Amino acid sequence: MKKRKLGNSGLEVSELGLGCMGLSFGYGPATEKQEAIKLIQRAYDLGITFFDTAEIYGPYLNEEVVGEAIAPFRNDVVIATKFGFNYVDGKPAGLNSKPAYIRQAVEGSLKRLKVETIDLLYQHRIDPEVPIEDVAGTVKDLIAEGKVKYFGMSEAGAANIRRAHAVQPVAALQSEYSLWWREPETKTFPTLEELGIGFVPFSPLGKGFLTGKIDINTKFDSNDFRQGIPRFAEENRIANQALVDLVKQIAEQKDATPAQIALAWINAQKSWIVPIPGTTKIHRLEENVGAANVVLSPNDLTQIETALTQIDIIGHRYPESSQKMVDE
């Protein structure tokens, strides 16, 4: 597994990371703890050194699982976690990035992860009630205290990235990005490139859709958040099948799987991008890691680009309540 630097920050990680959210949250029942630990440790064996979690995943449960799993090799990996939500009765209840709350969240994350320092601390969503300068300043203080190494932002727009970066350099932006959601290319890539900030795409496999394993007959668990996403409505799944067909066609040409093509395409876009696909299955993890060996030539990328211009993706990536928390 090759390494990549996230922009000019100096933070170096494996060219594919592991998004750990789905082990505890979002895609149905939580994976049994020992099985989740086994998967994270297998990822490390395969060369992954970048693990992504957040206090909201569970809530709290995912950080505990990640902390236990990485304990044997803590000094060889980079752990990213996030703050930014209130909780009432153990459930998320709105945004909160007030400085005192950030400090409280960080203390909780340090305990659950069983670490002395958080390698990469993201603001999970922009809190419109708190000036971004106050957020960046608080993280800057936490870095000075040795509790955090690097500052990141998630689903942030260019203006807030600039304002935050002026106070405390931003190492990485995390946002959704894949063959079926390319908005960051125009909305944030120019700013990231100019400021030397890395990019960490979540849902690089389109929340599973680009693997080709989801179709009109797929039934989602009641705890699976995809059942509320417009893009996964039955009529939209039918309409969006054209994209999956394209990815499958390229995969056959390259003797790869659709998931590997989707990940290889992302890694071919910019040298400062590190996707974090997630999975609950070890054989899928191994398949995803195989993407590191898939090389798309300039000709392949042109072919994909040309084909993509003929495909209209139908349906939004978020339900309205989640979209409201995305910083435009």
**Domain positions in the chain:** 3-323
With 90 as the cut, is the pLDDT of residue 76 above it?
A: yes
Nearest by Cα to 299 from 248, 254, 232, 263 = 254
Homologous superfamily (CATH) of 3-323 is NADP-dependent oxidoreductase domain (3.20.20.100)
| Mean per-residue pLDDT over the chain, rounded | 97
Question: For the segment 158-171, what is each residue's pLDDT rounded down to a tens digit?
Answer: 999 999 999 999 99
Average the pLDDT over 12-39 and give the result.
Answer: 97
Which percentage of the chain shows pLDDT scores above 90? 98
With 90 as the cut, is the pLDDT of residue 252 above it?
A: yes
- Please state the pTM of the whole predicted model: 0.97
211 burial class (0-12, 13-18, 19+ CB within 10 angstroms)?
A: buried
What pLDDT shows up at residue 275?
A: 98
Which residue in 44, 57, 60, 150 is the catalytic one?
57
With 90 as the cut, is the pLDDT of residue 7 above it?
A: yes
75 burial class (0-12, 13-18, 19+ CB within 10 angstroms)?
A: exposed
SS3 215: coil
| One-letter amino acid of 248 | K
**At 328, is the pLDDT very low, low, confident or very high (cuts 50, 70, 90)?**
confident
60 has catalytic annotation: no
What pLDDT shows up at residue 297?
A: 96
298 burial class (0-12, 13-18, 19+ CB within 10 angstroms)?
A: exposed
Written as six digits, the tokens of 137 are 């300043």
